[in-house]
Amino acid sequence: MLECKNISITRGTKRIIHDLSFTAHQGEFIVLLGENGAGKSTLLSAICDDLYYSGEVLLNEQSIHVLDPQTLATQRAMLLQNNRVNFAFSAAELIAMGRYPYHETAQAQADVVNDIITQMSLEALADRDVTVLSGGEFQRVQFARCIAQLNAHNTQTTGKLMLLDEPTSALDLHHQHVTLSKAKSFAEQGNTVIAVLHDLNLASLYADRILLLHHGIIYHDGKPQDVLRPEVLQPIYRAGMQINLHPSFEIPMIFSEPLTGASNA
Amino acid sequence: MSNITLPILNSKQHLKWYWLSIFLLLSLAWLSLSSGPVGWDWKMPIVWLLPNSMTTDINDLHISVVSQIRLPRLMLAILVGSVLACSGAATQALCRNPLADPSLMGVTGGAAVAAIAVIALAPKVSFINEAMVAPAAFIGALTITSVIYRLANHQGQVQITTLLLAGVAINAIAMAIIGLFSFFADDSSLRLMTYWQMGSLGGASWSAMTYGAPLIIISTITLLLKKRQINALMLGERDARHLGVNVKRLKTEVVFLVALGVGGAVAMAGMIGFVGLVVPHIARLLVGPDLRKMLPLSMLLGCLLMLLADWIARLIVAPSELPIGIVTALFGAPFFIYQLIKQKRGAHA
């Protein structure tokens, strides 16, 4: 369980996050939505203690500051966006880096990595140099590294926190679903997943709960069908849209409209 | 059961390169102990082990040449080669860029300025002496490493362009200051300083080594012990921190250890460039970038390169000898240019 209490973040004179509080429970897949600059990535950075903030972040009722860094690393992992590696590690070696907080034998580590590669269908990439992978391939390997870090390949793992900053931004349709399905099932087995997404329909398909951020505050917090409504989204995204129910799943699907005339300004 | 194997993770392939390097290193070590201006004799390195009947042609002078000149020189080459390669690999991990190198960043220059200041001032200022060269070189290296790293680091990302440009500027300042010291130095100091600037193993002696060697040994052993943490640093500062690495402390330690190693190397052998750039690159090509495999191989290859360069430096203009820094620069600088072109191509791909 993650509790964020009165988080405020200021950069220079600009306040990015303003007195933001929420609790993410075990089993929840939470999607952070919001326009560019709403503070989504910054909020994830604060939860990871990557930047200075006021307020408190509690993981399983303990402040993240009192947890030993390596223990914390086994409890919480984050997939960063746009984070390339300049050294020619193989994909398998990069995934194995996720095992850094665990002190295990080389064989045990190889078994875990092997298991993850099979689960995530990364066999074709395992031996490839990560510096020459495409953006999408690299994103899949980095996601697999987060899985290794949290033991997420194991269906018995519970009580952990996975933070994903735009995990599907470079992925094709198939791999968008592979990644989000894996994250969803990880949440369902008793963990917490918080993902920043820009695709509202993916959010609708996978989220248990959506936090819509706007100017550093939680503008709306609720189930997809409560948040994904034209009167909520249009002022934020400043785009015309229609929302219909998905014919099979009965969840809201967003059909956005091109900007025209005055609204283009 | 899956049919996937992960040859890279459990492979012992890297061991063959270790054994090959050790074999070549021993061969070159034998060669450098056996040959020199007083002649060549294969028995020299093991003269103590041979029966008297086989060593009738070897006199005390030969033995003293081996024990007092060639052996310290060999040890110096091994120490300097391993620490320069190790510092290069650690600096590249710290900066997350394979083009970073203590000599290009001006760290070697900073160490040399401090060392030369001590050499130039020693005859003139009574409380300054030879024992201060190594600590001075360390302080010079530490100052420059800290300043450059701070200059080039922006929100956890190291800007390689800033790093290299700052290196150019600092090297220019270092050369100017060294020039200034040369201008005021007496003849004996001047000769020493010239050799210092170009790098040489010629000054090797057991007594000189007592001041610099501890710095080098502490630096290499500690870097080797921290290779797992430094490995994680190659992913980037945030990722390393998320994996449980105390990044702030590790960065300070790496800066300190690199300065310690480079300071020790410069104090004993002067400015020897490009070893820290070329050797880790070759090691990465052979066993990949994982420091757990690459760092020990880098150290072995560093020793090997240093012995080879020293051998070339002594052979090419025998009976005189070239400063070893000239040899490493002649090989290293074109290699650096090749790397730049390769990176540029990569950026446009």
Tokens representing B133 are 């060269």
Q: Do B9 and A110 touch (CB under 8 A)?
A: yes
pLDDT at B349: 45
CATH code, domain with A163: 3.40.50.300
Query: In Å, how far is A27's CA from the nearest CA of chain B?
Result: 22
Nearest to B234 by CA among B313, B162, B295, B322: B295
Of A71, A93, A101, the CB nearest to B290: A93
Average pLDDT over chain A, rounded to whole? 92
| pLDDT of the residue at B89 | 96
Label residues B15-49 b or e (16+ Cβ within 10 Å = b).
eebbeebeebbeebbeebbbbbeeeebeebbebee
Question: Which phi and psi angles does B315 have, rounded to 5°?
Answer: -80, -40
Q: Could you list the residue range(s) of the whole structural domain that residue A149 is in? A: 2-264
Structure tokens at A117: 């590669």
Judge: B234–A73 Cβ closer than 8 Å, yes or no. Answer: no
Position A224 scores a pLDDT of: 94
Taking CB atoms and an 8 Å limit, are A97 and B242 in contact across chains? no
Q: What is the pLDDT of residue A101?
A: 95
Q: Please name the member of A70, A89, A92 whose beta carbon is closest to the beta carbon of B244.
A: A70
pLDDT of residue A262: 54
Q: Mean pLDDT, chain B, as a whole number?
A: 85
Alpha-carbon distances of A41 from A121, A198, A238, B188, B222, rounded to whole Å = 28, 12, 21, 62, 36
B-chain residues near A122 (CB < 8 A) = none
In tens, the pLDDT along B283-330 reads: 999 999 999 999 999 999 999 999 999 988 888 887 788 888 889 988
Tell me the chain B residues in contact with residue A79 when contact means C-beta distances shorter than 8 Å: none
Give the confidence band of B156 by pLDDT, cuts at 50, 70, 90: low
Asked if residue B231 has pLDDT above 90, the reply is: yes
Find which of B235, B342, B345 to mutate to test the A interface (most A CBs within 10 Å of its CB): B235
* Single-letter amino acid, residue A217: I
List CB contacts (< 8 A) between B8 and chain A. Answer: 90, 92-93, 127
| Record: contact B242-A118, CB cut-off 8 A | no
Give the closest of A48, A85, A94 to B242, CB-based: A48
Beta-carbon pairs below 8 A across chains A and B: 92
Chain B residues lying within 8 Å of A50, measured CB to CB: 238, 241
CA distance A228 to chain B (A): 32
Residue range A169-193: mean pLDDT, rounded: 96
Quick one: average pLDDT of B22-30? 94
Q: Which residues of B touch A74 (CB under 8 A)?
A: 244
pLDDT in tens, A196-212: 999 999 999 999 999 99
∠ at Cα B309 (B301, B225), nearest 5°?
Answer: 30
Q: Name the residue facing B2 among A50, A74, A118 (closest C-beta).
A: A118
**Architecture of the domain spanning B95-271:** Orthogonal Bundle (1.10)
Cα-based distances in Å from A57 to A53, A64, B276, B337: 10, 6, 43, 48
Beta bridge partners of A8: A54
- Asked if B238's CB is within 8 angstroms of A101's CB, the reply is no
Q: Taking 70 as the threshold, does the pLDDT of residue B10 lie above it?
A: no
A117·B234 Cβ contact <8 A: no
pLDDT of residue B9: 67
Each residue of B235-263: pLDDT tens digit? 988 999 999 999 989 988 998 899 899 99
* Closest chain B CA to residue A89: B289
Please judge whether A149 and B243 are an interchain contact, meaning their C-beta atoms are less than 8 angstroms apart: yes
Q: How far is A11 from chain B (nearest CA, A)?
A: 13
What does B142-168 look like in DSSP terms, one character per residue? HHHHHHHHHHHEETTEE-HHHHHHHHH
- Strands A14-24 and A161-165, by their bridges, are unpaired
Please state the length of chain A: 265
**Nearest chain A alpha carbon to B99:** A86
- Chain A CB contacts of B244 below 8 Å: 69-74, 100-101
pLDDT at B4 over 70: no
* Candidate from B4, B239, B243 with C-beta closest to A80: B239
Do the chains contact at A73 and B243, CB–CB below 8 Å?
yes
Name the pLDDT band for A265 (thresholds 50, 70, 90).
very low
What pLDDT is stored for residue B218 in this prediction?
A: 96
Nearby residues of B125 by Cβ (< 8 Å), 6 or more positions away: none
For residue A97, the chain B residues in CB contact (below 8 A) are 231-232, 235, 243
Least confident of A56-60, B115-119, B190-194: B190-194
Q: Do A73 and B7 touch (CB under 8 A)?
A: no
User: Residue B7: its chain A contacts at CB < 8 A?
Assistant: 127
DSSP secondary-structure letter at B67?
I
Alpha-carbon torsion (A107, A110, A111, A112), positive or negative: positive
CA of B249: how far to CAs of A186, B148, B216, B230, B255, in Å? 33, 18, 21, 11, 10
| Euclidean distance between CA atoms B339 and B349, whole angstroms | 15
pLDDT at B99: 84
Hey, are the CB atoms on B8 and A100 less than 8 Å from each other?
Answer: no
| Residue A232 pLDDT grade (very low, low, confident, very high; cuts 50, 70, 90) | very high
SS (H, E, C) chain A: CEEEEEEEEEECCEEEEEEEEEEECCCCEEEEEECCCCCHHHHHHHHCCCCCCEEEEEECCEECCCCCHHHHHHHEEEECCCCCCCCCCEHHHHHHHCCCCCCCCHHHHHHHHHHHHHHCCCCCCCCCEHHHCCHHHHHHHHHHHHHHHHCCCCCCCCCCEEEEECCCCCCCHHHHHHHHHHHHHHHHCCCEEEEECCCHHHHHHHCCEEEEEECCEEEEEECHHHHCCHHHHHHHHCCCEEEEECCCCCCEEEEECCCCHHHHC
pLDDT digits (tens, 9 = 90+) for B259-276: 899 999 988 888 898 899
> What is the mean pLDDT of the segment spanning A159-174?
95
Q: What is the pLDDT of residue B7?
A: 47
CB contact (8 A) between residue B235 and residue A117: no
How far A56 CA sits from the closest chain B CA (Å)? 18
Cα separation, B291 vs B338, whole angstroms: 23
Q: Indicate whether this model's pTM tops 0.95.
A: no
Q: How large is the average pLDDT for residues A180-186?
A: 96
Q: Is B223 in contact with B276 (CB distance < 8 Å)? A: no
DSSP class of B300: H
* β-bridge partners, A24: A2
d(Cα B263, Cα B342) in Å, to the nearest integer?
31
For B117, the token pair is 């200041």
Per-residue pLDDT, B83: 96
Return the pLDDT at B1. Answer: 42
Instruction: Report the relative pairing of strands A29-34 and A209-214 from DSSP bridges.
Output: parallel
Token pair listed for A215: 């100017």
3-state secondary structure of B7: helix
Residue B297 confidence (pLDDT): 96
Mean pLDDT, residues A156-177: 94
CB contact under 8 A, A96 and B9: yes
Beta strands of B78-231 (E only): which ranges? 153-154, 157-158
Place of tokens 């953006």: A135
The predicted-structure confidence for B77-113, as pLDDT tens digits, reads as follows 999 999 999 999 999 998 888 888 888 888 888 998 9
Q: Which of B203, B240, B248, B241 is nearest to B75 (CA)?
A: B203
Instruction: Count the domains in chain A.
Output: 1
- B111-127 average pLDDT score: 81
What is the rounded distance in angstroms from the CA atom of residue B285 to the CA atom of residue A88?
A: 9
Distance from CA of B77 to the nearest CA of A (A): 28
